[in-house]
Amino acid sequence: MTTLEIQRALAARGFNPGPLDGLWGPKTKAAVVAFQRSAGLYPDGIVGPKTTMALEVPWPPASGSDPAPPRQSSSAIGLAALISREGRKLTAYRDSVGIWTIGIGHTAAAGAPVPYSGLKITAAECDAIFARDIVKYEDTVRDVINVTLADHQFDALASICYNIGQGGFSTSTFAKRINAGASAAQIRSAILSWQKPAEIKSRRTAEADQFATPYSVRLPKGRSTDASPIKLAA
């Protein structure tokens, strides 16, 4: 498929690839990632054989019934920001509070594999674990938040949930304020209240900034202390 064909197929399915201009850019890649996640494919943003086959399925379905709208999920920008915050470690280590961690912030709380001293994984295993883990936290964001979110807002909340856990997110004040239509300042204040341990402050500030700032204005930083925003792979 050409880039233009990919863009048209995405747009027909409700995924916004940006202008239908045949040019591959961040918006098109983000739409591919969202489509892959909704189709149960590995969300790498690459239109390989499996993604091509899924995009070439006739649309809308022949049954004539209205297709369900795609579930919102992390964009390519959001995934890049989250990965920059978590890091990518192929050997198990203890995090700042002593919890065994491996890959992209994977702990035993997220399921198998259970990290332990000496455990090593490959880069491919790291990506596969992350692709499985992130779904849990995206599900929590969708379940807890009952208002419409822009991509940058959903991405920021998925990043926060990945860090503080599903339980913390579900009962958080910031989630309640978002649902209640609170002011931007009130939501930001509630997000920034999650600053333990102290070294998480720069991450939480970056997430609060991400929630408040559309990607058309500025790409997010991994941490507020970073010199520049994240960079997306071409």
Instruction: Classify residue 9 as left (phi > 0), alpha (psi -120 to 50) or beta.
Output: alpha
User: Of the listed 5, 44, 95, 125, which one is catalytic?
Assistant: 95
Domains of the chain: 3-55 (1.10.101.10), 76-85+123-212 (1.10.530.40)
Query: In tens digits, what is the pLDDT along the chain, a chain of 234 residues?
Result: 999 999 999 988 888 888 899 999 888 888 888 888 777 777 778 899 989 999 998 876 655 555 555 678 888 899 999 999 999 999 999 998 899 999 999 999 888 899 999 999 999 899 889 988 998 999 999 999 999 999 999 999 999 999 999 999 999 999 999 999 999 999 999 999 999 888 899 999 999 999 999 999 999 999 999 999 998 754
CA 218 and chain centroid, separation: 17
- How is residue 69 annotated by DSSP? P
207 is catalytic: no
56 is catalytic: no
pTM: 0.74
User: Of the listed 5, 44, 66, 86, which one is catalytic?
Assistant: 86
Cα distance between residue 166 and residue 57, in whole Å: 35
